[in-house]
Structure 1
Amino acid sequence: MATPVVTKTAWKLQEIVAHASNVSSLVLGKGSGRLLATGGDDCRVNLWSINKPNCIMSLTGHTSPVESVRLNTPEELIVAGSQSGSIRVWDLEAAKILRTLMGHKANICSLDFHPYGEFVASGSQDTNIKLWDIRRKGCVFRYRGHSQAVRCLRFSPDGKWLASAADDHTVKLWDLTAGKMMSEFPGHAGPVNVVEFHPNEYLLASGSSDRTIRFWDLEKFQVVSCIEGEPGPVRSILFNPDGCCLYSGCQDSLRVYGWEPERCFDVVLVNWGKVADLAICNNQLIGVAFSQSNVSSYVVDLTRVTRTGMVAQDPVQDSLPLAQQPPLPTAPLRRIYERPSTTCSKPQRVKQNSESERRSPSSEDDRDERESRAEIQNAEDYNEIFQPKNSISRTPPRRSEPFPAPPEDDTATAKEAAKPSPAMDTQFPVPNLEVLSWPQVITSTPVPKAEPAIIPAARNEPIGLKASDFLPAVKIPQQTELVDEDAMSQIRKGHDTMCVVLTSRHKNLDTVRAMWTTGDIKTSVDSAVAINDLSVVVDLLNIVNQKASLWKLDLCTTILPQIEKLLQSKYESYVQTGCTSLKLILQRFLPLITDILAAPPSVGVDISREERLHKCRLCYKQLKSISGLVKSKSGLSGRHGSAFRELHLLMASLD
C-alpha cells in the first residue's frame, strides 16, 4: 500500500543577512505579499524579493537608524522614518528620492500611506501624529491627543478615518476631513502595539502588550469582544481578505480568531520567534521576523488552516476536510465601507495653509535629497519586479503562484494544533468535527447611539482640505485622445525607469573602462565585480573572451564565482557568456591546475610557487562547485544543453 503524501502546513522560506548592522524595522508589501523592505541601524533601507537572497535596491540618505518603513499598496512608493525624526519617500519605479519631510522632534514609530490621496501619516515618540502631502513636501495637519509614543497608524479602507495606537494604552479614531478625534477606545492594560481595520465592515482590531486583542464597533464606538490568553505581547495581526477571521502572529505560532463570539478557530505551530509582519498572497500567509542583522521569512498554507465555524447539517460538507468546509452564511452585523469603484487619479492640489508649517523647500532639504540615493543592487530582480511587462500595466511575476512547500520530513509536524490552556478552553474552545454548529445571531432594531465625545485636534478645521482629497476621484469617460494620452503616460513612465537603469549601467561601465585604460586587466575585472551588477560583468567578459591571451590564473579566481551566477541566470545571453568563459578557462588552465596540485611538495621556500599553488587550489575548489551545476544542466535540450554537455566532458578530470 502506497504511503499517502503529507504536505506541510507551515515552513521556513529563507533566512538572509539584511544589513551590515542590526535590523531595526521591516514591512511586507500588502499588495503582492512578495516584497520586503527592511530598515537598519546602518541608516539604510533595503528592498528584497521575499523568496530571493539578493538585495534588489538599497536606499540611502538617512543619517540615523531607520525606525519605521511602509510600502504603499501598489508597491511603487516606500516611506521610511528615522530615529532623528526625519522622513524620506522614495519612488521605486523611478529609483530615486521623492521627498524629504522634516518636522517631528523624536523617533518615527509608525507610518502609513493613504489608500487614495497622496498623503502619508506619521506617528512619533514626540506623541504627535502628522499628515503629510507628499506632492509638495508639506505637513497638512497635526493631530494631538496621545500622551506617549504613537506605535501604529492605519487609514480606514474608505480613506476617511485614521486609527492610532500608542504606549498610553489607548486607541484613537480621527476624522481626517473634520480634523477631530471621533472616539477614544480605552480598555487595554498595556501599550497598544498594532491596529487593523476590518476590510469590509465598520470594525477595528487592536493588539496590546497586555496579551489581549480587542475588537471595536465603529458605529456604536464600543468594544465587541476581547480575546485574552495570548502567549506574549501582540505585535502583528491581520484580517483575512474576506474578513472571515483575524490572524495573530504569536511567539512561535499562528492563531486564528473569530470575534462574535470570541473564539479560537485554529493554532498552527510556526518556529518564527517574534514575527514582525504578516501578509497574504495566493491563499498563503507570509510572516517575517528579524533578529540582529538576520531576517527570516515563513509560509503558512491557509488551505490547511481552519478559518471559521462549521455547519453540521449537510453530510456532504461533513465529509470534506476541515479547511475546505464552507463558512456559516450570515449577513454583516454592521455597516460596510463605501468605496467608489472608480479609477484613482491624483487629487487636486491643496492650497498652502498655516498648518503646513509655512515653509518652502530649503537648500538644506535640496541637499538632503541630493545626498539620498536609490542604488539598484540587482538589476535582474529590479527589472523583473518594477519594469512594466507591457506599455499599459505592470504585472510582476512575483504575484504568479504560491510558494511550494519543501518535502515533508516529519508527518507528525505537518499540522500541529497546539493544545489550548485550561483558561482558553473555557473562553474560546477550538472547534472540532463533532461541534459544528453556531447559533445564528438575530439582529434587532438598532438603538439610537449616543454621540461620542468630540475632542478637537490642533485646529478646529484643517484649512485647505476637503473630503474629496481623501477619496478616489471619479474618472469621467474621456475621448479617445485622452485614453491615448494615458497610454503614452504609462509608456513614458516605463521609459524613465529604463533610462535610470541604463544610465546606472553606463556609469558603471565608464568606471571599469577607466581602470582598463591603465593596462591593469585584473584591477578592471575586480572593479566590475565590486559594482555587483552582472550586466557589467557580462559586457566585460564578452571583450575578454575575444582574446585568450588576456586570461591569467589570478583572473580565473575572480571570474569563476561570477560565472557560477551567470550559468544560473534566466537571461540566455548571460548563460551563453558564462559557458564561453568557462570553456576558455577549462581548456587553458585545467591541465595546469591538475598538474600543479598533483606535483610532489617542493623542498625549501619558493614563494612564487606557493602563491601559484594557492591560486590553483582556489580555482579547483570553485570549479568543483560549478561542476555540480553543469552536470545538472547537461540534460537540457537545445543549444544550451549541448554547451553544458561539452563543459561536463571537459570537467570530467575533476572527478
Structure 2
Amino acid sequence: MATPVVTKTAWKLQEIVAHASNVSSLVLGKASGRLLATGGDDCRVNLWSINKPNCIMSLTGHTSPVESVRLNTPEELIVAGSQSGSIRVWDLEAAKILRTLMGHKANICSLDFHPYGEFVASGSQDTNIKLWDIRRKGCVFRYRGHSQAVRCLRFSPDGKWLASAADDHTVKLWDLTAGKMMSEFPGHTGPVNVVEFHPNEYLLASGSSDRTIRFWDLEKFQVVSCIEGEPGPVRSILFNPDGCCLYSGCQDSLRVYGWEPERCFDVVLVHWGKVADLAICNDQLIGVAFSQSNVSSYVVDLTRVTRTGTVARDPVQDSRPPAQQSSHPSAPLRRIYERPSTACSKPQRVKQNSESERRSPSSEDDRDERESRAEIQNAEDYNEIFQPKNSISRTPPRRSEPFPAPPEDDMATAKEAAKPSPATDAQFSVPNLEVLSRPPVITSTPAPKAEPAIFPATRNEPIGLKASNFLPAVKIPQQAELVDEDAMSQIRKGHDTMCVVLTSRHKNLDTVRGVWTTGDIKASATSAWTSVDSAVAINDLSVVVDLLNIVNQKASLWKLDLCTTVLPQIEKLLQSKYESYVQTGCTSLKLILQRFLPLITDILAAPPSVGVDISREERLHKCRLCYKQLKSISSLVKSKSGLSGRHGSAFRELHLLMASLD
C-alpha cells in the first residue's frame, strides 16, 4: 500500500526582482489575492500576477520614490503616493492615468479607497489626513489631530468612518460626514503601524512596534483586550473573512489570535521575514515581503490551521493532520455594520470637450497627467486579469484555483517553485483594448450606472461632503409624465419676473464695468477697488457676487482698501440663503485671511512710531477697521462651523484661519 504524500501547511511560492532599485512599498489585491502592486525607489509602480514571473504593467509619472500603494476593492483602480507628497490614480482596465492629486507637503505614508464612494484617503508625514474626491480632483476635507506621521488608514466596512494609526502611539477614529474625530485610542507605547476593521462587528484591531495587538470596541470606545509578546513589531494583521480570528504576520511565523478572551489559536512557521501585506482567497492566506529589490510571496493552507478553540499548537510539528474547526463562529457581541447592497463604482471620466470644464493645458496637474503612463509589459497576463471596459462582450467570471502545495518529501519541486525570476525589461505596445476579452477578477455584481459628469473644483480647495456621498444613490420613483400644457405653464411661471431681475442685473453690471474700464489700466487694483465701491453703492448683492467672482481669480487685485470695502459685504453673503452667495463669500474671506491677516496683526502689534508718518497712520487705520470687521465676522463663522456638508467644511477651515484673532 502506497504511503500518502503529506503536503506542507506553509511554503514559499516565488521570489522576483520587482524593481531596478529598492522596493519601498507593496500591496495585495484583497478580493482575488492574486494581484500584487509594488512601488520602488525607481519612481515606478509595477503590477504582478502572483506566481507569475513577469511584470504585467509598469506605471510611471512620479518623480520621487513611491512610498505607498493601494488597490480598490474590485482591483480596477490603483493609487500611489510618493516621497514628494503627490498622489496619482490609475485606471488599470483602461491602462491610463486617471487623476493627479497634489496638496501634501511630505511623504505619503498611507492610502485607502472608500468602499462605496469615489474617495481616497491619504496620510502623510506632514501629520495630515486628507480625503480626496477622485472625480473632482479636489480635497474634500483635511483631518488634523496626529502629531507624527500617519502610517495606516482604513475605511470602515459601511464607509462612514476612517481609522488612522500614527507614529505618535495613537489610533484615531474619524466621522467622515461630521468631519471630526469621534474617539482617540491611547495605550500603545510605540508607533502604531497598522489598523484593521472587523469585517462584521464594531471592532477595530491595531498593531504596534511595541509588539502588541490591541482590540477596540467601537460602541463603548474602550479596549477589549491586548495581546502581548509578539516576536517583533507588528506590521501586518488581517481578520478572517467570517471574523472568527485575526492573523498576524510575525518575523518567522503566522499567528492566529482570538480576542474575547485574548488567546493564540495556532502558530505556523513561515520564514517570510518582514511580511508587508496579507490576503485570503480559496482558504489560502497569501503573504508578501520585500527586501531590497526582491519581493517574495508565501502561501499558508488555512484548512490546516486552527482558527477557533483554546489551545495553541506546537509550531515545530509541521506535518500534522488537518485541524478541526468549528463550522460557525460564536455570535457577535457587538453591533453589526449595515452595508449598502451594491458594489462600488469607478469614477467617471469628465468629457474633455466640455467648454465650462476646459482648463489651461499648461496647468500643473494636466502636465503631470500627460507625463504619467501605464505601460503594459506583458500583454498575455494583462488580458488574463483585466477585462477592458470597451469590449463588446464580457465572459462569465472565473474563480482562481488554490495554489498547489509542494510535497514535503519532494524538495527539488519546492526549490523549483521558489526559483527567482527577474522582471522583464522589454516594453510592449498597448494592445487594442476594444477587442480584448477576459473575465474580470471579481464580478457577480451588476454593472454600476454611469454617473453624471462632475466639473472639477479648484485643486486642494475643500468642497465639502454629505452622508449621501458615502452611500450608493437611491433610486427615486419616476414621476408621472406631465401633460404638455401643464409643463408649459410651469416653464412660463415666473419667467417675466426672472427677465426683469436679469435685465436689472445686466444694467448694474454695465455700470460697474464702465467704472472699471475708465480707470488706469496700469492701476488695475485701484480700478477693482473703485468698481467694488460702485457695486456696493448700487446696493445689489448679486452684482457684488459677480464682481467678487472675477476679483477672486486674481489675488494681485486684493489690497487693504478693497478689504475694508468688501468685508461688510462678505458678512451679508455668509448669511445669504443662496448657496452660490455663501460660496463666494467663503472664497473671498479665505483670500483675505491668507493674504492680509498676518499683516494686520503685525501692524497692530507694532510699537507706535516716532514723529509723523501719514502713510503709516493711514495703513494703521485701515488695519484697525479690517480687524474690527473680521472680529464681527468671526462670531458668525464660529456659529456656522458646526454645519455639515460643503459649507460646514468651508466654515470650519475659516474658523481655523481666524483663530489668531482671539
TM-score range (shorter-chain normalised) is: 0.5 to 0.7
- Sort the Cα spacing of 1:595 and 1:282 in 2 relative to 1 into closer, same or farther, 3 A: farther
TM-score of the aligned structures, taking structure 2 as reference length: 0.61
Provide structure 2 residue ranges, at least 5 long, that are not aligned to the other structure.
Answer: 523-529
- Sort the Cα spacing of 1:513 and 1:109 in 2 relative to 1 into closer, same or farther, 3 A: farther
Confirm or deny: 8 A CA contact 2:238 2:279 kept in the other structure. yes
Deviation at residue 341 of structure 1 after TM alignment: 1.5
**Is it true that 1:525 corresponds to 2:568 in the alignment?**
no
Confirm or deny: 8 A CA contact 1:387 1:497 kept in the other structure. no
Measured in 2, the distance between the counterparts of 1:586 and 1:173 equals 30
Confirm or deny: 8 A CA contact 1:22 1:41 kept in the other structure. yes
Between stretches 402-411 and 610-619, larger displacement belongs to 610-619
Confirm or deny: 8 A CA contact 2:138 2:463 kept in the other structure. no
Deviation at residue 363 of structure 1 after TM alignment: 1.3
Confirm or deny: 8 A CA contact 1:94 1:500 kept in the other structure. no
Confirm or deny: 8 A CA contact 2:53 2:421 kept in the other structure. no
Deviation at residue 103 of structure 1 after TM alignment: 0.4
Deviation at residue 204 of structure 1 after TM alignment: 0.1
Q: Percent identity?
A: 96
- Sort the Cα spacing of 1:594 and 1:427 in 2 relative to 1 into closer, same or farther, 3 A: closer
- Sort the Cα spacing of 1:514 and 1:226 in 2 relative to 1 into closer, same or farther, 3 A: farther
Deviation digits for residues 432-482 of structure 1 (CA, Å, limit 9, x no counterpart): 999999999999999999999999999999863110101122356999999
Deviation at residue 136 of structure 1 after TM alignment: 1.2
Deviation digits for residues 218-277 of structure 1 (CA, Å, limit 9, x no counterpart): 000000000000000000000000000000000010000000000000000011111000
Tell me the SS of whatever aligns to 2:539: coil
Confirm or deny: 8 A CA contact 1:353 1:463 kept in the other structure. no
Confirm or deny: 8 A CA contact 2:464 2:648 kept in the other structure. no
Tell me the SS of whatever aligns to 1:131: strand
- Sort the Cα spacing of 1:652 and 1:152 in 2 relative to 1 into closer, same or farther, 3 A: closer
Deviation at residue 149 of structure 1 after TM alignment: 0.2
Measured in 2, the distance between the counterparts of 1:111 and 1:409 equals 43
Instruction: State how 1:631-646 maps to structure 2 within 5 Å.
Output: none
Tell me the SS of whatever aligns to 1:412: helix
Between stretches 84-93 and 552-561, larger displacement belongs to 552-561
Deviation at residue 319 of structure 1 after TM alignment: 18
Measured in 1, the distance between the counterparts of 2:446 and 2:634 equals 73
**Is it true that 1:435 corresponds to 2:438 in the alignment?**
no
Tell me the SS of whatever aligns to 2:434: coil
Measured in 2, the distance between the counterparts of 1:66 and 1:422 equals 20
Deviation digits for residues 35-66 of structure 1 (CA, Å, limit 9, x no counterpart): 00000000000000011000000000000000
Between stretches 419-428 and 325-334, larger displacement belongs to 419-428
Between stretches 484-493 and 391-400, larger displacement belongs to 484-493
Deviation at residue 325 of structure 1 after TM alignment: 3.0
Between stretches 228-237 and 392-401, larger displacement belongs to 392-401
The residue that corresponds to 1:308 in the other structure is 308
- Sort the Cα spacing of 1:593 and 1:446 in 2 relative to 1 into closer, same or farther, 3 A: closer
Confirm or deny: 8 A CA contact 1:342 1:473 kept in the other structure. no
Tell me the SS of whatever aligns to 2:533: helix
Measured in 1, the distance between the counterparts of 2:29 and 2:603 equals 53
Deviation at residue 496 of structure 1 after TM alignment: 48
Measured in 2, the distance between the counterparts of 1:8 and 1:116 equals 38
Measured in 2, the distance between the counterparts of 1:230 and 1:7 equals 28
Tell me the SS of whatever aligns to 1:336: coil
**Is it true that 1:381 corresponds to 2:381 in the alignment?**
yes
Measured in 2, the distance between the counterparts of 1:555 and 1:178 equals 35
Between stretches 336-345 and 319-328, larger displacement belongs to 319-328
Tell me the SS of whatever aligns to 1:515: helix
Between stretches 559-568 and 405-414, larger displacement belongs to 559-568
Confirm or deny: 8 A CA contact 1:311 1:438 kept in the other structure. no
Measured in 1, the distance between the counterparts of 2:355 and 2:294 equals 41
Measured in 1, the distance between the counterparts of 2:18 and 2:285 equals 21
Deviation at residue 4 of structure 1 after TM alignment: 2.5
Deviation at residue 624 of structure 1 after TM alignment: 86
The residue that corresponds to 2:344 in the other structure is 344
Confirm or deny: 8 A CA contact 1:38 1:46 kept in the other structure. yes
Instruction: State how 1:600-611 maps to structure 2 within 5 Å.
Output: none
Confirm or deny: 8 A CA contact 1:350 1:464 kept in the other structure. no
Confirm or deny: 8 A CA contact 1:268 1:418 kept in the other structure. no
Confirm or deny: 8 A CA contact 2:15 2:419 kept in the other structure. no
Confirm or deny: 8 A CA contact 1:71 1:77 kept in the other structure. yes
Tell me the SS of whatever aligns to 1:456: coil
Tell me the SS of whatever aligns to 2:317: helix
Deviation at residue 340 of structure 1 after TM alignment: 2.1
Deviation digits for residues 67-108 of structure 1 (CA, Å, limit 9, x no counterpart): 000000100000000000000000000000011110000000
Provide structure 1 residue ranges, at least 5 long, that are not aligned to the other structure.
Answer: none
Deviation digits for residues 349-405 of structure 1 (CA, Å, limit 9, x no counterpart): 999999999999961211111011100000001111112599688679784210011
Between stretches 538-547 and 137-146, larger displacement belongs to 538-547
Please tell me the root mean square deviation across aligned C-alpha atoms, in Å.
26.9
Tell me the SS of whatever aligns to 1:594: helix
Between stretches 189-198 and 583-592, larger displacement belongs to 583-592
Deviation digits for residues 272-294 of structure 1 (CA, Å, limit 9, x no counterpart): 11100000011100000000000
Confirm or deny: 8 A CA contact 2:406 2:413 kept in the other structure. no
Between stretches 528-537 and 252-261, larger displacement belongs to 528-537
Deviation at residue 538 of structure 1 after TM alignment: 64
Between stretches 445-454 and 428-437, larger displacement belongs to 428-437
Measured in 2, the distance between the counterparts of 1:639 and 1:159 equals 18
- Sort the Cα spacing of 1:302 and 1:518 in 2 relative to 1 into closer, same or farther, 3 A: farther
Deviation at residue 178 of structure 1 after TM alignment: 0.1
Tell me the SS of whatever aligns to 1:427: coil
Deviation digits for residues 168-223 of structure 1 (CA, Å, limit 9, x no counterpart): 00000000000010000000000000000000000000000000000000000000
- Sort the Cα spacing of 1:609 and 1:35 in 2 relative to 1 into closer, same or farther, 3 A: farther
Deviation digits for residues 561-604 of structure 1 (CA, Å, limit 9, x no counterpart): 99999999999999999999999999999999999999999999
Measured in 2, the distance between the counterparts of 1:171 and 1:445 equals 34
Confirm or deny: 8 A CA contact 1:264 1:430 kept in the other structure. no
Measured in 2, the distance between the counterparts of 1:521 and 1:378 equals 59
Confirm or deny: 8 A CA contact 1:347 1:472 kept in the other structure. no
Aligned length: 655
Deviation digits for residues 527-551 of structure 1 (CA, Å, limit 9, x no counterpart): 9999999999999999999999999
Measured in 1, the distance between the counterparts of 2:649 and 2:180 equals 71
- Sort the Cα spacing of 1:286 and 1:531 in 2 relative to 1 into closer, same or farther, 3 A: farther
Deviation at residue 2 of structure 1 after TM alignment: 2.7
**Is it true that 1:28 corresponds to 2:28 in the alignment?**
yes
Deviation digits for residues 8-61 of structure 1 (CA, Å, limit 9, x no counterpart): 100111100000000000000011100000000000000000110000000000
Deviation at residue 406 of structure 1 after TM alignment: 1.2
Deviation at residue 145 of structure 1 after TM alignment: 0.1
- Sort the Cα spacing of 1:606 and 1:369 in 2 relative to 1 into closer, same or farther, 3 A: same
- Sort the Cα spacing of 1:383 and 1:550 in 2 relative to 1 into closer, same or farther, 3 A: farther
The residue that corresponds to 1:279 in the other structure is 279
Confirm or deny: 8 A CA contact 1:202 1:217 kept in the other structure. yes
- Sort the Cα spacing of 1:321 and 1:141 in 2 relative to 1 into closer, same or farther, 3 A: same
Between stretches 278-287 and 509-518, larger displacement belongs to 509-518
Tell me the SS of whatever aligns to 1:441: coil
- Sort the Cα spacing of 1:565 and 1:166 in 2 relative to 1 into closer, same or farther, 3 A: closer
Confirm or deny: 8 A CA contact 2:138 2:460 kept in the other structure. no
- Sort the Cα spacing of 1:213 and 1:553 in 2 relative to 1 into closer, same or farther, 3 A: closer
Tell me the SS of whatever aligns to 1:280: strand
Confirm or deny: 8 A CA contact 1:386 1:396 kept in the other structure. no
Confirm or deny: 8 A CA contact 2:283 2:303 kept in the other structure. yes
- Sort the Cα spacing of 1:110 and 1:322 in 2 relative to 1 into closer, same or farther, 3 A: same
Confirm or deny: 8 A CA contact 1:308 1:327 kept in the other structure. no
Deviation at residue 5 of structure 1 after TM alignment: 1.8
Confirm or deny: 8 A CA contact 1:116 1:471 kept in the other structure. yes
- Sort the Cα spacing of 1:201 and 1:517 in 2 relative to 1 into closer, same or farther, 3 A: same
TM-score of the aligned structures, taking structure 1 as reference length: 0.62
Measured in 2, the distance between the counterparts of 1:202 and 1:454 equals 34
Confirm or deny: 8 A CA contact 1:8 1:405 kept in the other structure. yes
Measured in 2, the distance between the counterparts of 1:620 and 1:475 equals 49
